[in-house]
Chains A and B, each alone.
Chain A
C-alpha cells in the first residue's frame, strides 16, 4: 500500500476508535437532538390548545361574530362557548366542559379590560382564536363593512414581493438563507477545525511518544504530514457529515410537525463555490497546525497556540449579524477576503448577499496563496522542530528554519 495512504488509514482508524471522536461525532449532535426533542415534547404538551373556551359577554360584542374556516395548513380555531353569566361559566369550567372563560365587560371597546378565569395563560391557539373573535367584534361594532373588516384584520396578507426586475420573491427565503448560512458555515468550521485540531494533536503525539525519529527513517516528512493531513481531513469530514445527517433528520422531523417549515426554501446551491474553498481552507489550517506542532513540546501547549488561530477563523460567525445586515459592507467583505477568516466569511456572504465574481475569485486566490505559504513554511519549521523532544523552538529558531532552504 502507498505509505501516505497507510499513514492516512492508520490515523483515521486510530482517532476514530477514540472515545473523544465518538462523542464529538455522534454524542454531541444526538445530545442536542435529544434536548430539542424533549423541549419540543414539553412545548407540545404545555401549549396544547384548550378543548373549548367560554366567555361572558354582557355587552354583546361577540354576538354576531363568526370566525371563517381556517386556511389550509393552519391550526383550527378553539371553540368559543357563550355563557349568560359568570356563575354558569364557572360551573362549566368546574365540570370540565370548558378549560377557561373570559369576561368581556360592556366598556371593553374603550377600556380594553378583560379577565380570564381558569388558566394562567391561554395557549397560543386559544389566544389567537379569542383575539380574532374580539377583532371581528370590535370592527363590526364600529360599523365597518365586512370586506374592509377582513382587509383590516390581515392588511399584509396578499403581499406580492418582487425583485426590481420583476421576479417573484419567496418571503420565506431570508429564513432559509439564514438557516443555510449558519449551518453551512458551522459545518465548514467543524470539518476544518476538527481536522486541524486532530492533526495538531497527532503530530505533537509523535513528538511526545518519541516516535518521530523512527517514523522519519521509514518515510519522508512529506509522506507523514500528507498521510496525517489526508486521514484526519477525512475524519473531520466524517464528523461534519454525521452532524449534517442529524441536522437533516431534525429538519425533516421539523417539517413534518411544523407546516410553515415546508414553505421555507433552502438555497443549498449557493454553497457550491465553497467546494473550492473547503480544501484550500483545510490546507491553510493544516499548514498552521503542522508549524505549531513543530514548535511546541506538548499537546496542551499546542492547543493554546491553536486556540488563537481558531478564534480568528471563527470571527465571521461572531459577527453574523453584520453579514445579514450589510453582506457587501466593508467588514463583511474584508472578512470574506482575509485568508484566515475567508472560509467562514465567504460561506456567510454567499448565502446572505450577492458576492461579485471578482471578490469570489480574489478570495480563493488569496486563500490558495496563504495555504501554499503555510504548507511551505510548515515543512521548513517541521523539518527542524520534529526532533526537538521536550524543547520548544524559539522564535529565532523558527525564523532561521524558515530562511534555511
Chain B
C-alpha cells in the first residue's frame, strides 16, 4: 500500500507545555485509519501539524510525498473537533463559500451539494440560517463541507458525535465508499466499537507519544488473554489445559481460560471429542478496543508495538 502520510518522530511544544513528544506513524492510500488517545494526548496538535496549521519543532511530516503546504490544501477535507459554520448565513450560501475556499467554482459546488444535501436529508433546509439548524444537522452540514471537494484525504475528529443511528450509518457508508474509491480517511474518535467496525489500522497516542499501533485485529490479539469463547448445546465437560470456565451472560457462551502452554487449537480438538456437547461457535477471546484503551491509559503496554 502506498504511504499517503508519513509522520516521523514529530514533536511540538507550546511555551513550557509539551503537546507532542515523539509521534511516528504511516497512513496508506485508501485506508480508514483511526487516531486514538485520551483527551489532551496530542491528537489535535498532530492533526494540526499535518494540516500545516502548526510546524513541528522536530521530526518530519510527508503528505502526498511532500512536506505539508499550500499544494496539499485542496486535497484534504477536515472536520475539526471544534465544529463551526457561519451561523448568520443560510446553509447553501455557507457551504458554497466553504467549497469555494477549496477551489470549487460556485456552479459546480451547487451541483455537487444538491446531491449531498439530498442524501443527508438537508435539502429542505438550504435557505435556513445555519444557526437555526439542530446540532445534528449542523454536524452533517459540516461533514458535507469537509468532503464536497472530494478530497483524497479526509481527517475527521469525532465524526459521529451528536448523530443518531441512521445518520451514523450514513457517515459509515461514506467512509466505506471513499475507501472503495481509494480515498483515505483518518478518524479520531472515542467510540471504540466504531473503530473496531470501520478502521483497518490504528495508532494510539498518550501523553504525546505513540503507545499502540497496528491493525485493529493485531492490537486486539496483542492484548488478548489466553482464552477462547465457546457457544454450543449440551453439557460441557472439563477440558484438559483449561484452568477456568466462566459463563458469559444468558446465551450459553462460556469463556475458557487456558493454561499457559495450551493453545486454542488443542482446546478445539478436545471439544470435538465431547459427544455430549455440540459446538456452535468457537472463537479466540479478544478484548474490545474499549478495554484496551482503558488498560493502555492505565499504564499497560502491549508485548509488541509496531507501526
Contacts and interface: CB of A to CB of B under 8 A. Distances in A.
Interface string A375-405: 0000000000001010000000100100000
Contact of A210 (B15, B51, B78, B82): B82
A214 B53 contact: no
A211 B105 CA distance: 20
A66 B73 CA distance: 89
Interface stretch (A150-158, A217-225, A311-319): A217-225
A397 B16 CA distance: 12
Contacts of A3: 100-101, 103
B229 to A, nearest CB: 44
A209 B85 contact: yes
Interface in B23-52: 48, 51-52
Nearest to A224: B101
A10 interface: yes
Given A217-B53, A217-B78, A220-B70, A209 B86 contact: yes
**Residue of B74, B84, B100, B145 with most chain A CB atoms under a 10 A cut-off:** B84
Contacts of B87: 209
A14 interface: yes
A1 B78 CA distance: 22
B80 interface: yes
Interface residues of B, number: 29
A214 B80 contact: yes
Nearest to A384: B14
Nearest to A18: B88
B98 A213 contact: no
B80 A213 contact: yes
A272 to B, nearest CB: 38
Contact of B102 (A211, A218, A387): A218
Contact of B101 (A6, A209, A213): A6
A217 B102 CA distance: 9
A332 to B, nearest CB: 43
B100 A6 contact: yes
Interface string B130-148: 0000000000001001100
Contacts of B102: 218
B12 to A, nearest CB: 13
Given A10-B97, A14-B89, A215-B101, A210 B83 contact: yes
Contacts of B76: 217
A1 B97 CA distance: 12
Contact of A214 (B74, B78, B103, B105): B78
Contacts of B52: 217
Contacts of B74: 218
Nearest to B15: A400
Interface in B41-97: 48, 51-53, 70, 73-74, 76, 78, 80, 82-89, 97
Q: How large is the interface on A (under 10, 10 to 19, 20 to 34, 35 or more residues)?
A: 20 to 34
B84 A210 contact: yes
A209 B70 contact: no
Given A14-B89, A209-B86, A387-B53, A214 B73 contact: no
Contacts of A14: 86, 88-89
A211 B15 contact: no
A266 B78 CA distance: 57
A211 B142 CA distance: 10
A211 B101 contact: no
**Residue of A1, A6, A218, A400 with most chain B CB atoms under a 10 A cut-off:** A218
A240 interface: no
B84 A217 contact: no
Interface in B114-155: 142, 145-146
Contacts of A213: 53, 78, 80, 82, 84
A171 interface: no
B100 A1 contact: yes
A212 interface: yes
A216 interface: yes
Nearest to A10: B97
B82 A389 contact: yes
A215 B84 CA distance: 10
A211 B53 contact: no
20 contacts: A3-B100, A3-B103, A10-B97, A14-B88, A209-B84, A209-B85, A209-B87, A211-B85, A211-B86, A213-B78, A214-B84, A214-B145, A214-B146, A215-B98, A215-B101, A217-B52, A217-B53, A218-B74, A219-B101, A397-B15
Q: Which 7 A-B pairs have the closest CB atoms?
A: A210-B84, A218-B101, A211-B84, A210-B82, A213-B80, A217-B51, A217-B78
Interface of A: 1, 3, 6-7, 10, 14, 209-220, 387, 389, 397, 400
Given A214-B98, A219-B73, 14 more contacts: A1-B100, A3-B101, A3-B103, A6-B100, A10-B100, A14-B86, A210-B83, A211-B85, A213-B80, A214-B80, A215-B101, A217-B73, A218-B74, A387-B48
